[in-house]
Amino acid sequence: MSNKLSDPGIYFRCNFCYSNLNAEQALVKTKIACPHCHRRVTVPKPSLGRGHLMKDWEVVRLLGQGSMGEVYEVVDSAGHKGAMKIVHQDCMSEDETRYLQEEAQILLKLRHKNLVRVEEAGFDDLQYFFVQDLVEGRNVDLTLKKYGALKLVEALRICRDVASAMDYLWREGKIIHRDIKPENIMLSREGVVKLMDLGIGLTQEQIQKEGFGAGTPYYMSPEMIQKPSACDFRSDIYSLGISLVEMLTTQKPYMAAGREAVFDKILTENVNLQQLNCSRETKDFVARMINRNVKKRPSSWSECVQFFETLIKLENQGSSRKEHQYVYDLAEDKTFSIQYYLTLFAFFIFLFTLIYFLF
C-alpha cells in the first residue's frame, strides 16, 4: 500500500455540525468541545493519517467510522474532492474480496440522481477501497440525533427516493445493497436524497453462489441472518422498512446487548407499529416491508416507489408545500449560516462596547 509521510495530528469532522476539526495525537479517545457547535465530541483514532496516499487519492481527514470500515475525505492531484471508504480486511473472506473487485466495475457505470456516484473502486495492494462523490450535507442518522424524529411525509419522501435508487440498481445489475440504514442515506445541502455505501453491495448471483451475509445487525433481514444465499432485493426492502420506523421514532426497533441478542430479537419479536403516528395504510405497508416472511413483502422496488407516492399524497392531504422543504437543508443549520455568524459578531461588539462604557 502506497503511503507518504502522514501528518501526526488527527483531522476529523464534528459528528453534530460537520465542522472540520483537528487535535493532537495525545487526545485520541478523549472528549473535546467543538468550537463551532460547542458539543462534546470524541477524538477518533483513524487507521490512515492525513497525507496518506491510496493510489492517486490523498487523505485529508476522517469523516466517519463504522463496524466494517472508515470513511475519509480525500483529494486527487487535480484538486477534486471525494469520500473514500476502506473496508476492514477481517470483514471479508477471500472469495468475497474477489467478488467486490468484480462489483467495482459495475459500480463505476451506475448513474442515478439518488445515488452517490462512485469515482473509483478497487484494491491498493490488499486493501479494498472505493471513492465516491463528496456530498455536502448530513446523513439521516445524524439528522435524527440533532433534530429528533422526522415528519411523516418527509420520511416517506426520503424512502421513496431510496426505493427509486434501489429500483435502478436492481434493474441495472440485480444489485443487493446489504447495508441500507439511516447512516447511509445522505441529505445534501441542496435538499437531494443520496443513497451511499454501495461498496459492499453484491449481485444476487454472487450471493446465491457463495451465501455471503453482511450489513449492520439492527437492520439485517431474517434471511440475511439465517440463509444469505436466499436473499434478493426484498432483503433491502426489509432494511428500508426498519430504517423508516427509526426515522419516525428515533429508536432502532431491535435493540439488545450484543450481536447475537439483536439477531434473536429480529427472528422472534414483532415491531410495535402502533407507536407510529400515521394512517392505517402507512402502518400496513411498513408491516409488509418488515414481514419476516419474504413472500409477504412488496414484490418489487417499483411497487415500493408507487406505494410511497400514494402514501405521500394520502398523508400530505393536498398540502401545497414544496417538496424540498421536507428535506433537511444544510444551509438552514445555524452553524453554516452567515446570518448566524453576523449576529454573533454583532452581539460581541455590543457586549464589549457596553463593558467599555460601564468600566
pLDDT digits (tens, 9 = 90+) for 62-113: 988 876 788 899 999 999 999 898 877 776 667 666 666 666 677 778 889 9
Domain end position, chosen among 88, 103, 133: 133
3-state helix, strand, coil in the chain (%, to 5): 45, 20, 35
Do 75 and 14 have their domain in common?
Answer: yes
Do 310 and 338 have their domain in common?
Answer: no
Do 104 and 166 have their domain in common?
Answer: no
Question: Does residue 1 belong to any structural domain of this protein?
Answer: no
User: How many separate domains does the chain show?
Assistant: 3
pLDDT, tens only, 181-227: 999 999 988 889 999 877 555 556 656 555 555 678 899 999 998 88
Domain end position, chosen among 85, 105, 133: 133
On the question of pLDDT at 339 being above 70, the answer is no
- Measure the CA–CA gap between 110 and 121, rounded to whole angstroms: 12
Do 183 and 127 have their domain in common?
Answer: no
| Nine cell digits for residue 109 | 457505470
Question: Does residue 202 belong to any structural domain of this protein?
Answer: yes
Please state the φ and ψ torsions of residue 22, each to the nearest 5 degrees. -145, 150
Do 102 and 158 have their domain in common?
Answer: no
Q: What is the CATH number of the domain that holds 203?
A: 1.10.510.10
> What is the residue range of 155's domain?
137-328
Catalytic entry in 141, 161, 167, 179: 179
- Measure the CA–CA gap between 115 and 186, rounded to whole angstroms: 10
| Nine cell digits for residue 237 | 426492502
Question: Does residue 2 belong to any structural domain of this protein?
Answer: no
Please tell me whether residue 292 adopts helix, strand or coil conformation: coil
- Measure the CA–CA gap between 348 and 354, rounded to whole angstroms: 10
- Measure the CA–CA gap between 322 and 37, rounded to whole angstroms: 29
Do 39 and 104 have their domain in common?
Answer: yes
Active site residue 179: yes
Stronger pLDDT, 308 or 101, i.e. the higher one? 308
- Measure the CA–CA gap between 224 and 215, rounded to whole angstroms: 9
Domain end position, chosen among 81, 115, 133: 133
- Measure the CA–CA gap between 29 and 182, rounded to whole angstroms: 25
On the question of pLDDT at 13 being above 70, the answer is yes
